[in-house]
Structure 1
């Protein structure tokens, strides 16, 4: 016979017990331990249960919670624990059958109701524990989004960031303590956001306006959005390369010879389920990749300073490999010997030596060879002519 779960995650709103379902009330009444942030605990009357404040950082609470195994334990979370909440973290650390969840009304639903915004048309972000740069790929005139922020001071930080990115005409709907007796809603400008004081818990309805540069949704982002020392896969070639890499949901990329990180960053922009590791032998460039990834909201990019294939041992195996630099016989041999069948490999070359190497390996393993030749109009005396770039040879193969 299966035992009942000892752990229940309860979604709590700012109205405390008033907003709880009968099932949630019943669970709280029989709880031996109630664990949660101090603000959540303060919303409940005394029940006789042991009360434990969840520590900061959040990860330190998991060992404490594990120590209550076998006792009826409730963890308090905000609203819906599985929408930018604690639910998914707790679920990763405990077996199915040990825990259950009773969600409350989400902050996003309450905010959409106050603003009369259809949730299916709105982007939602949990930025209470994530950088504001997560917004960067999405910032464009006309965007509406609902953001969960860390605290009241983060409103001024958001206003500063929008100013810096060229969207100073944006409007903010400040929604404080939604669903409780302290609820307050106001629409303000960025200037008012910089001068104001706001109470926690807080979320913001964002309406983006201003002349800032939006990041295109298609592959081949503008070269200008990347910090570079000139070592970058140029936009048209990058678009063709991303097409050859053909990202699928949940896949992991190795970007070998990362340069500025443009390939792995665009890969991550394709879908939030994607992951990537960029390997770069030059320390200065590895640091630049990190800055580019952070600035463009792709802080989940893993950056490795080292030379392939020497640093590849021990890394999580990829679904796809891109070789943009450091192409060698040793590297190709390592990939063939260590990666499983079905791994896709794409390599770009610009030198005669690397082109000859790709031609040799295409003869061995098959795949497709593509020669990319581009030219741009440029001044030629008083007129114009075509200025050709170095041709790029691209090899694509499935091992």
Structure 2
């Protein structure tokens, strides 16, 4: 284990709107001993009369990290909102520091204060930070009766949130607009999203959402309805997608490569399976890649990565995947490349429709093992004055662990 620094040079102090009266004894002691205090202009303004020199943290936030690291060895206090490690700046500030170099003194988080004002059980709420994220991230959480706590940038963002709820059919949701919680400017007002008319919302602001309305909630199972995805026909259809996701078996924090991404439906459902999951789709057609990106945004998983090109000539860089899905471009060359590059234990699922690709999978399954399954589906359809079964193209699915 690496030696830690005996005394931390950096103290991260969480402050609320009542900073003048609400600082802990440890936070006050750190400020008294500081040789430099860094923080946003709003935070510095909450602490007039600092004895140490102060420096305003720059925008964008990342530009302040090198300035902070250059002060290593001096007693530095960084001011942040509330709890530094609950949708806060703490992890960004400490990412390049050893554990012994820093200490943090959190204040009550905005989420905790909001739950206390509304009487909501915090462990039952969905908590989201949308300061710099699209409002569509709400989509997977919009279900009647759910409680959502959201941090937003300003009053304009609250209006955008309300408009999005109306657009999705959840205009009857109650919005609790919570301004400057914990300080003398605190204000809490409630209104239906479809009736929001506040034009004087003050920063900092959070919103509590009691979801109501006639909008469609996303099912929590795999195999979402096909009409949730914009596509040109290149989509793994819902029943087959459910079987494919079952074979891929996403686990929290895992990474997927989706080769021949098409509409992005498999990648998107992989991401919906857990908020810590990541996925990268490889797609040769620019228009399809654009559709996949738009579908991911619409369904609240804008973190989908896309690589434009044809595998195996183009494959994602960085962290290797835990699972790979081949939905297009299946060939000996692609499988050879994957076998050479992927680590032992990677799960691979490939779907084949043509006789040629079926034969290829049968050969590889004979050599490498795994499970080969033929999937045949049929839909009821008109047959004269009655109904009969209309068969879909059968699909052969190979699942294997490298």
Secondary structure at 2:99 match in 1: coil
Verify the 8 A CA contact 2:380 2:389 in the aligned structure 1.
Answer: yes
1:40 pairs with one of 20, 39, 43: 43
Deviations 1:118-149 (A, max 9, x none): 11211111111211111101111111111111
- CA shift, 1:236, in A, is 0.4
| Residue segments in structure 1 that go unaligned for 5+ positions in a row | none
Secondary structure at 1:9 match in 2: strand
Deviations 1:103-130 (A, max 9, x none): 1111111111110111121111111121
In the TM superposition, structure 1's runs of 4+ consecutive aligned residues that sit over 3 Å from their partners are: none
- Aligned equivalents of 1:384 and 1:100: distance in 2? 71
- CA shift, 1:323, in A, is 0.2
- CA shift, 1:192, in A, is 3.9
1:181: which partner in 2? 184
- CA shift, 1:313, in A, is 6.3
Secondary structure at 1:97 match in 2: helix
1:205: which partner in 2? 208
1:141-160 alignment, distance < 5 Å: 141-160=144-163
- Aligned equivalents of 2:273 and 2:95: distance in 1? 26
Verify the 8 A CA contact 2:307 2:316 in the aligned structure 1.
Answer: no
- CA shift, 1:246, in A, is 0.5
1:94 pairs with one of 93, 97, 102: 97
1:170 pairs with one of 161, 169, 173: 173
- CA shift, 1:17, in A, is 2.8
1:1-399 alignment, distance < 5 Å: 2-312=5-315, 314-399=317-402
- Aligned equivalents of 1:54 and 1:133: distance in 2? 29
- CA shift, 1:152, in A, is 1.8
Secondary structure at 2:177 match in 1: strand
Secondary structure at 2:100 match in 1: coil
More deviation, 88-97/200-209? 88-97
- Aligned equivalents of 2:387 and 2:217: distance in 1? 31
- CA shift, 1:195, in A, is 4.6
| Residue segments in structure 2 that go unaligned for 5+ positions in a row | none
Verify the 8 A CA contact 1:153 1:197 in the aligned structure 2.
Answer: no
- CA shift, 1:320, in A, is 0.6
- Aligned equivalents of 1:196 and 1:250: distance in 2? 41
- CA shift, 1:3, in A, is 2.5
- Aligned equivalents of 2:205 and 2:5: distance in 1? 40
Deviations 1:139-194 (A, max 9, x none): 11111111111112111010111111111111100110000000001111224424
Verify the 8 A CA contact 1:250 1:273 in the aligned structure 2.
Answer: yes
- Aligned equivalents of 1:67 and 1:329: distance in 2? 52
- Aligned equivalents of 1:256 and 1:47: distance in 2? 56
How many residue pairs get matched? 399
Secondary structure at 1:128 match in 2: coil
Instruction: Give the aligned CA root-mean-square deviation in angstroms.
Output: 1.2
In structure 2, the CA distance between the partners of 1:3 and 1:17, relative to structure 1 (3 Å rule), is same
